[in-house]
Structure 1
């Protein structure tokens, strides 16, 4: 096995830089929304619309990325995604009204969604011998990309204003583009390799069309979508749950929310390698579901006792995200199929996850308590088990598609 950087420094650098940008659009604005509101009036409805954008744009970008990849090389596609993130951040920083702020946020997050689904395919292309390592690296960097803007944005806004604070993340997106520009130009200078890459990508439509019939694709989509539904719901409602049921202060609830948010980062360093070594990685879906349910049971039955433990146990269920990323590569044979499967799983999974915060909020309003919302989350967590059951087969998605084509 050759060293991870041997002949692949540009790709390694590009993946790291892009991963560091794929969550900044989500968390760069919320800590400074009060400052923005002083210049650009934002109603509660406007804030709600912006809050719904991340999962919707992740879903749209996830479904759009593989479609674009039918005609455009993966590297060029990622250059365009970086350009879109740059443009979106800049439009947000220059916004004079809510409409401009919404357009900038939509462009930045849609581009983020496209880049999100392309990374597994690029890992497959450049690091087929280092899938576990590279998946761990960029999945962990997603957590960093989520955490850093929440700390840095207010500091920059205090020193230089909110517009410059948002502009910083546009510059960061621009910095991620040069490695992919270089790889695009290198690919075009190698006619034979470019033809091979084009041929591989052109097979993506066939793969995408057949994924609805793939047990592996459905298993990964359910595992990802329902675990993300639980994660988004807890990120949205955990502080209020803790204040109401455990009697914690708002400060303590905020600390526990931060702990919940960062738990997936360390897990990302470990679980991809475990998933790739297991004969039946669907077992990890059962474990993830059990962790969600155990955490919720603790918060329902004894919320004031060992509260941090219940929070961390339920947060550990979100470790299924890097498992999903690793299995997308492990269960495909070509970058084209990887891109198609990534779009299917992450795009449709994001659509499923949108329901989490919304349904929990509706059940809370209707019942006045947290028992019904927790029962909904437990039911969603049990659905993850079905995803794991669909992953029991050792077949790759390519095998399933060939088998389906042979039976037609």
Structure 2
């Protein structure tokens, strides 16, 4: 059955509320990673405070990816039933409450449960933002996607840099984590005002035929492309500092190199979606990013110390495949409903694929006491990313593929 789209009845609200929507999107994007990076910064203190074993600590670091995969998959159904603005406001409220509750507990199991609640809110927001960009800024998908991915990157870096000093200043890890609950609470406010926008949309979204990206080549291509990029990103964030320390850098220098990778990613996060949206075919962009990643990993094999700065910059360029993927989700679909469905499938399947990456790299490194096999594994992932990227980057639309099926 063909997907039905009907113009919302409250078009005047959509036009007048554009500034409020953009503010809301930016505030939500700012909160999509501090829940993860703030915990990473204080992991030793949290482990000691909650008496966590090494296995339980490892589960905490894997929980975000698994939560993004699990909870993101149910978001389109909730959006069709209740409206995307209502679901997003509830998701950000859940994020704030989960962050506050986990900061106040001394129980390991309560910490796990409340972290899962916060991450469920992030998972839904991850899925909904591309669809809301498509709905409110249909002719500015690349630009607005760039703004929110840049803000997401900034939020990641800010949380990593400031959480420990705030914890020290405020009196411990509990308060260092609690600060981010307050930041998330601010992000709820615009969406409380925007919830009424769903009143005119509910009749259209409920009547629309659900799009099934899992039955299309473009759906799977974007999912695997997203998963390969995310796997690489989580490995880089988790293991690159250790690699640099192993080849002779101090812990401080290794940390600065990885921080530099994140800093280079900020302008790229703004630039990449806008570049992608300027042309219908993104395959040349995919080729450049995949080549940069491959060169970065190859350099780490042959000259990890001498060329560390160059390899870090190349990997930063390659990691801008993340904002490119988010832009392509909007560019590969005709309707906001199709964008949400494609976003949910690509992110859920992709994050599930990415969850295995850090564990596999860790196992290879531990068993061989060398970075050669882990880096060869990552180069194989880059080849896969390039192959599916050539499919995902072709000019095509999800809804058209569904009609052919």
TM-score above 0.5, yes or no: yes
For 1:361 and 1:130, the matched residues in 2 are separated by 41
Within 2, Cα distance between the matches of 1:37 and 1:222? 34
Q: Report the Cα offset of residue 150 of structure 1.
A: 2.0
Determine the structure 2 residue equivalent to 1:199: 204
Give the aligned partner of residue 10 of structure 2. Answer: none
Candidates 30, 39, 44, aligned match of 2:40: 30
Structure 2 residue ranges without an equivalent (≥5): 1-13
**TM-score normalised over the length of structure 1:** 0.91
Q: How far apart in 1 are the matches of 2:288 and 2:22?
A: 31
Q: Secondary structure at the match of 2:81?
A: coil
**Number of aligned pairs?**
391
RMSD: 1.8
Aligned position for 2:301: 300
**Deviation digits for residues 30-79 of structure 1 (CA, Å, limit 9, x no counterpart):** 22334434543222222111101111111123212112223110000001
TM-score by length of 2: 0.92
After superposition, the Cα gap between the structure-2 partners of 1:271 and 1:369, relative to the gap in structure 1 and judged at 3 Å, is same
Map 1:102-117; keep pairs closer than 5 Å.
Answer: 102-117=112-127
In 2, Cα distance between the equivalents of 1:243 and 1:94?
A: 35
Residue 315 of structure 1: CA displacement?
2.4
**Does the aligned pair in 2 maintain the 1:41–1:97 contact within 8 Å?**
no
CA distance in 2, matches of 1:274, 1:31: 33
Q: Report what 1:17 is aligned to.
A: 27
Other-structure match for 1:166: 177
Say which SS state the counterpart of residue 375 (structure 1) adopts: helix
Q: How does 1:7-406 map to 2 (within 5 A)?
A: 7-161=17-171, 162-188=173-199, 193-194=200-201, 197-200=202-205, 202-203=207-208, 206-207=210-211, 210-244=212-246, 246-391=247-392, 393-404=394-405
3-state DSSP of counterpart to 2:325: helix
SS of 2:80's partner is: coil
For 2:342 and 2:404, the matched residues in 1 are separated by 17
Q: CA deviation at 1:392?
A: 5.2
The worse-fitting range, judged by mean Cα deviation, of 167-176 and 151-160 is 151-160
Which blocks of at least 5 consecutive residues in structure 1 are unaligned?
none
Q: How many angstroms does 1:264 deviate by?
A: 2.3
- Tell me how far 1:149 sits from its aligned partner: 1.6
Aligned to 1:263, the other structure's residue is in SS state helix
**For the residues of structure 2 that align with 1:183 and 1:357, how far apart are their CA atoms?**
39
Single out whichever of 363-372 and 330-339 deviates more from structure 2: 363-372
Give CA deviations for 1:187-206 in whole Å, capped at 9, x if unaligned.
43xxxx33xx44235536x3
CA distance in 2, matches of 1:293, 1:67: 38
